[in-house]
Amino acid sequence: MLRIKYAVALLLISHCTIAQLNQKLVCAGCKVDPYHYSVQKKGVYTHAAVASAHPLASMVGAAIMEAGGNAFDGAIATQLALAVVYPNAGNIGGGGFMVARTKTGKTIALDFRETAPLKASQNMYLDSAGNAQTTLSQNGHLAAGVPGTVAGICQILRFARFPLKQLIQPAIDLAANGYVITERESRALNGVRAMLVANSTRPSAYVKSTLWKGGDTLVNTALANTLTRIRDKGQKGFYEGETAALIVAEMQRGKGLISLEDLKQYQAKFRNPISFDFQGYTIIGMPPPSSGGILIQQMMQMIAEKNLGRHPFLSTPSVQLMVEVERRAFADRAAHMGDPDFWKVPQQTLTSKAYLAERMKDYDSTRATPSSSIQAGIVKESNETTHLSVLDAAGNMVSITTTLNGSYGSQTVVGDAGFLLNNEMDDFSVKPNVPNMYGAVGGAANAIAPKKRMLSSMSPTLVLKNKQPYIVVGTPGGTTIPTSVFQSLVNLLVYQMSPEDAVNQPKFHHQWLPDQVDYEQNFPKTTMDGLIKMGYHLNNKYQIGRVELIQQKAGKLHAVADGRGDDGTAGF
Ligand code: GLY
């Protein structure tokens, strides 16, 4: 366990944030010390558990639940804390998806993905010669979609026990009083410093006169003020009034498109969750505008048909089969998936047994199927997203993935409002067959249109066993998200691994194009040799995914935060 020790005075978060409950005064601020904390990679809890990208955010979520909140309260508090302590991807200036199940068995899919501004148009990133100017879809004001996170949180509140003003207060305290950053966070902030300066029009807390060091305290007063407006006015505290005016003023200074009308019109949407059976387990996932749920259903159904479990874990035959189902699912993604309010996604067909059997007809267990023989578009996206999983003993399950897209999004901080805007417009296809910042191309299904949501890979996922809560899982990682969730599920459900092994075993990824298998450092050499002999191109990747997983077993909640980052668990 990494113990973070820094020579700063212990300051408790100033406000007691949770009212008296069950005759007991509980104060989230008294439980969470943002100046001295450790990273807990796994924990076994009795009542409630959180796994997220930052230990402080997980601790805030757990403290809220210990004070009497349910998993929805814990998830909202964790998400808001991430918006402060994990500015790479935690956000109020981005968007995301929630897949959840209440203790009464109601399943929920909430879409708070960003939308293209009203003034956006299909060719907005093309110059007069028709060339794509992808720097504009990737950096600065024009790259930002209309944020959805605050609208999403306000919808999740209906399932929570506490009002927003209590759930948001720990985040306000963290922003106002500061928190100690880790070495990793200092490196990330220093790395993005020049881009933050170039793409913002006002000074912000993320850039100081000297470089950041691990152990420094980051105070963000402007963000605390924005969160306070949200606390006091709810959704209108972000989409109207002073915060909206600050966003629009920032857009005007930087020639962006988001208007007061865009903000006023933004709505989070409830969708029908994807639900399917896998060998007796029920898997629940996110439908479009995320591709994640469909891809996971396709991949799980294709491996079930071929009985993956007869092959040893990470052996050449098991990896080869999984690579081939990943290839076929991702080829479908580029051609067929987009915002369902704008494009008819053939979801029933794509996930039908007959279609998937046809898809695997040319599968050959002795060699690679060249991607050139499977027609569709290239898909590759950002790694800078974040996931949180929350489960309580009453049976509420919450899986939320949110993103700014690139690391620190558009690198534009809204002047005097203290938060980063996303660069999610780059998840659209800016021009057919022109790759975005991560190499993705697409077509009509994912073309830009006003108010349209850009296609995502985010895959917040739940699993039930005997119709009871079993697993809450998700990960960041762009296009590697569906494959990382797929592989975590395979590790747990097919190979019956412990949650810790399921998260930390080496991962691999194929996304149809480029026609290569990405693999992590500690991948077995014999498996790689076997794949090369069968005609696969292998590509070493530093790391794939950062999975946050909670499994309920024998009445206990086993939470695991991925070993690949500073991610942490908390619970009680
Ligand atoms: N921006 C990454 C995703 O939505 O998949």
Q: Dump pLDDT digits (tens) for 441-473.
A: 677 999 999 999 999 999 999 999 999 999 999
**Helices and strands (H, E) in the chain, number of each type:** 18, 21
In a domain, 560, yes or no: no
Please state, in angstroms and as integers, the Cα–Cα distance from residue 284 to each residue in 153, 322, 410, following that order: 20, 20, 31
Ligand 1 atom closest to residue 403's alpha carbon, by position in its atom list: 1
| CB distance 459 to ligand 1 below 6 Å | no
Q: First and final CA of the chain: distance in angstroms?
A: 18
In a domain, 216, yes or no: yes
In the predicted model, what is the mean pLDDT of residues 189-210?
Answer: 97
Q: Is the pLDDT of residue 103 over 60?
A: yes
Q: Name the residue of 137, 333, 381 to mutate for ligand 1: max ligand atoms within 8 A of Cβ.
A: 381
| CB distance 381 to ligand 1 below 6 Å | yes
In a domain, 305, yes or no: no
Q: Is the pLDDT of residue 2 over 60?
A: no
CA atoms within 13 Å, Cβ hemisphere of 125 = 28
**Helices (H), ranges, 255-404:** 260-265, 292-305, 316-336, 347-350, 353-359
Query: Do β-strands 42-45 and 556-561 pair in parallel, antiparallel, or remain unpaired?
Result: antiparallel
- CA dist., res. 91 & res. 74, Å (int): 16
Instruction: Output the residue whose Cα is nearest ligand 1's atom 4.
Output: 456
User: 385 catalytic, yes or no?
Assistant: yes
DSSP symbol at 235: T
How distant is the alpha carbon of residue 207 from its chain centre? 25
pLDDT at 258: 98
pLDDT at 244: 98
Ligand 1 atom closest to residue 292's alpha carbon, by position in its atom list: 5
- CA dist., res. 563 & res. 185, Å (int): 16
| CB distance 457 to ligand 1 below 6 Å | yes
Please state, in angstroms and as integers, the Cα–Cα distance from residue 300 to each residue in 367, 406, 427, 491, 505, following that order: 21, 28, 25, 12, 19
Give the range among 300-309, 369-378, 512-521 with minimum mean pLDDT: 369-378
CA of 407 to the centre of ligand 1 (A): 12
In the predicted model, what is the mean pLDDT of residues 284-300?
Answer: 98
In a domain, 167, yes or no: yes
Highest mean pLDDT among 220-229, 423-432, 474-483: 220-229
In the predicted model, what is the mean pLDDT of residues 25-39?
Answer: 71
| CB distance 478 to ligand 1 below 6 Å | yes
In a domain, 429, yes or no: yes
> Whole-prediction pTM value?
0.93
Q: How does residue 416 score in pLDDT terms, banded at 50, 70 and 90?
A: very high
| CB distance 401 to ligand 1 below 6 Å | no
Q: Is the pLDDT of residue 474 over 50?
A: yes
In a domain, 329, yes or no: no
Highest mean pLDDT among 30-44, 358-372, 415-429: 415-429
3-state helix, strand, coil in the chain (%, to 5): 35, 20, 45
| CB distance 422 to ligand 1 below 6 Å | no
pLDDT digits (tens, 9 = 90+) for 389-399: 999 999 999 99
Nearest to 397 by CA among 550, 281, 535: 550
Instruction: Output the residue whose Cα is nearest ligand 1's atom 1.
Output: 405
In a domain, 46, yes or no: yes
Q: Please count the structural domains in the chain.
A: 1
The mean predicted confidence, pLDDT, of the chain is 91
**Which residue matches tokens 């913002």?**
200
Q: Which residues neighbour 568 within 8 Å (Cβ) at sequence distance 6 or greater?
A: 39, 40, 41, 51, 52, 54, 55, 56, 58, 59, 561
In a domain, 313, yes or no: no
| CB distance 403 to ligand 1 below 6 Å | yes
DSSP H or E stretch at residue 551: strand 548-553
Catalytic residue among 182, 226, 243, 385: 385
CA of 512 to the centre of ligand 1 (A): 17
Domain extent for 221: 18-270+386-446
